[in-house]
Amino acid sequence: MRKIGGVITATLTPFSDDGRPNEKAIGSLLDYILAGGIDGLYILGTTGLGPLMSVEERKLVAEAMVTTAGKRVMRIIHIGGLVVQDILSLARHAEQIGADAVACLTPFYYHLDTKALEEFYAKIAEATTLPILLYNIPQNTGYNIRPATIAAIVERVPSVAGIKDSSGILAQLMETQNLLGDNFAVLNGSDKLVLPTLAAGLAGSVTALSNIAPKLVKDIDNAYRQGNLSKAQQNQRNVAQLANTLGEKLIPALYTILNNKGINVGKPKPPLTPLTKQEEQEILQKTSKIPIET
C-alpha cells in the first residue's frame, strides 16, 4: 500500500451548466493540480461537494478522477453521508475502481456514542478491504471526535489507518499521533497549518487551496524538507493570506479562480451559490496581489 501522507488536494468537482458533474473538465483540473507536484487527491470531500451529490453522481466522479489520475498519486475517495447503505455502496465501488483508500465523515445530525461509532466504521470495514480514514470536521458536523475515541475505533477496526482532522486544533492532532503511533496517518485539514503540521512530524495535509495554487502549497513541504525554513515560512504566510482573502466564500471563489485560469469547472452545486460579478472582480483583484506561483 502506498504511504498516506504529503500534500493532498481536496479536489474540487467540475460541473456542467445543467448541474451534473463535468467529466471532461476533470482531466484539465487534475493536470493542473498534479503539475504542482501534489502527492495525492482527496476526492468528493467538503471541497468536492460529495455530500451534495447523489450516489450515482458520486460514483461517476470517483471513477473519472481515479481513472484520470491513474497511479501518479494516491487517490482517496470520501464516502461519508447519512445513509449507511449508500456509504457501504460507495465503499465497495471505490475498491472496484482501484482507489487507494476511502475516507468517511463522522456521522452528523445524530450524535453517536463511541460504541455506535465503532459499529459504524466496522460496517465500512466489512464492505471494503481498502484502508479507511476517519474524517473530523466539527465546525460542519457539530461533533468533534476526540483522540481517545479514535483509539477505541482503531482497536475495534484495525483497517482504520488514519484521520483527516479539519478541526484546526494542532494540539489535538498531535495528541492523536502520540496516542496512535507513527503507523497511524494523521492528516491536517487546514491550509493554514501545513507548515506547523510538518514541524510536528505528522503525516501531511489535505488542502483546498492546492486546487488553485498547488505549487505554492507543495513548496511549503519542499522547502521545509530541504532545510529552507525561511522559504517555507514565506510560502505558508502566502497561503494563509490567500485563505483569509477567500474566507467564507472559499468554495465559490475556487470555482471563479479556476475558471479565470481557463479551467472550466463551472459553478458550485446548490445550495451553494456562485459569486456575484462584483464579488468575482474583488476576489480576482485581491488574489492577483498574492504570489500564488512560487
Report, at the CATH architecture level, how domain 6-287 is classified.
Alpha-Beta Barrel (3.20)
121 in Cβ contact with 135 (< 8 Å): no
CB 171 within 8 A of CB 145: no
pLDDT in tens for each of the 294 residues of the chain? 678 999 999 999 999 998 899 999 999 999 999 999 999 999 999 999 999 999 999 999 999 999 999 999 999 999 999 999 999 999 999 999 999 999 999 988 888 899 999 999 999 999 999 999 999 999 999 889 999 999 999 999 999 999 999 999 999 999 999 999 999 999 999 999 999 999 999 999 999 999 999 999 999 999 999 999 999 999 999 999 999 999 999 999 999 999 999 999 999 999 999 999 999 999 999 999 888 775
pTM: predicted TM-score of the whole model, two decimal places? 0.96
**C-alpha atoms less than 13 angstroms from C-alpha of 38 in its C-beta half-sphere:** 31
Give the Cα separation of 98 and 192 in Å (integer): 31
From start to end of the chain, where are the E strands? Answer: 6-11, 40-43, 74-78, 101-105, 132-136, 160-165, 185-188, 204-207
The pLDDT of residue 3 is 85
Domain ranges of the chain: 6-287
3-state SS class at 229: helix
The pLDDT value recorded for residue 289 is 87
The three cell numbers locating residue 253: 471563489
Closest CA to 48 of 25, 19, 15: 15
Residue 78 CA to residue 150 CA, distance in Å, equals: 18
CB–CB of 57/48 below 8 Å?
no
Q: Is the peptide bond before 158 cis (omega within 30 degrees of 0)?
A: no
Q: Which three cell numbers, joined as nine digits, stand for 136?
A: 473530523
Question: Residue 210 in contact with residue 256, Cβ under 8 Å?
Answer: no
* Count of C-beta atoms within a 10 Å radius of residue 178: 11
List active site positions: 135, 164
Asked if 130 and 101 touch (Cβ cutoff 8 Å), the reply is yes
